[in-house]
Amino acid sequence: MVTEDRKEEILKGLHDGVVAFEEDRVEELSQAAIDEGMDAYETIMDGLAAGMETVGKLYDTQEYFVPEILMCSDALYKGLDVLQPHVKDKEAKMKGQVVIGTVEGDVHDIGKNLVKMMFEVAGFMVHDLGRDVKLEKFVEEQLKTDSEIVALSALMTTSMLAMPKVIEMIKKRNPNVKILVGGAPVSGDVADKYGADGYADNAANAVQEAIRMISQLREL
């Protein structure tokens, strides 16, 4: 069993490795976390995602610019490749289907990819449309796959304005679909105002929210 000190050391190393875009270090420490018996999900969230949060702050204070951000996210994905296969699901049976994507005009997809990963490990079938997704594409994919949930991500105050439009478009074609929204500028109040059925501020809560919405649908 890994000691608390060693755990802290690995998590800090992963955080710092993402911030310093050290891909090799992140890969090695991710492997060490697995070899030494750490929980993969906790390692992703408290190591890799925490590092990306610091990167966000460095971008806000203009210490980092676009090239650095992209190198940091490459390091994050190196770690994710190692850790993701080890994230355990508590109940393995298929829970439902989700269409997910970042809305039109928005290329931010790191958070969306974390949400997608959590859905997959929780046993959902995920149809990932990627980023900068045309609004009609969400409607088409939902109808094609008959997914119970459409999950929309937006990271900009400008792009999140697409959310109420796409929600209206989806509900018009299929009123029973549940819509989950998220991303840094989105809040519970905004979600309500836009007519969404659920909101979550992180990947783990997104899955909880989706399970709640699916049970509501099945009660109908």
Q: Distance between CA atoms of 75 and 211, rounded to whole angstroms?
A: 31
Q: For the CB of residue 77, give the shortest distance to ligand B12 in the complex, in Å.
A: 9
Residue numbers at the binding site for ligand B12 (CB under 6 A): 49, 52, 55-56, 59-60, 66, 69-70, 73, 105-112, 114-115, 151-153, 155-158, 180-185, 200-203, 206
Residue among 82 and 103 whose Cβ is closer to ligand B12: 103
Residue among 82 and 203 whose Cβ is closer to ligand B12: 203
**Max CA distance (Å), the chain:** 54
CA distances from 151 to 44, 64, 71, 91, 92 (A): 21, 30, 27, 21, 21
Helices (H), the chain: 4-19, 23-35, 40-43, 50-60, 66-83, 110-121, 135-145, 162-173, 188-194, 203-219
Residue among 22 and 209 whose Cβ is closer to ligand B12: 209
Q: For the CB of residue 198, give the shortest distance to ligand B12 in the complex, in Å.
A: 7
Torsion, Cα 141 146 149 155, to 10 degrees, reads: 0
Q: Distance between CA atoms of 15 and 120, rounded to whole angstroms?
A: 24
Q: For the CB of residue 3, give the shortest distance to ligand B12 in the complex, in Å.
A: 27
Residue among 6 and 202 whose Cβ is closer to ligand B12: 202
- Are 205 and 177 contacting, i.e. CB atoms less than 8 angstroms apart? no
Residue among 152 and 162 whose Cβ is closer to ligand B12: 152
Q: For the CB of residue 6, give the shortest distance to ligand B12 in the complex, in Å.
A: 25
Q: For the CB of residue 129, give the shortest distance to ligand B12 in the complex, in Å.
A: 12
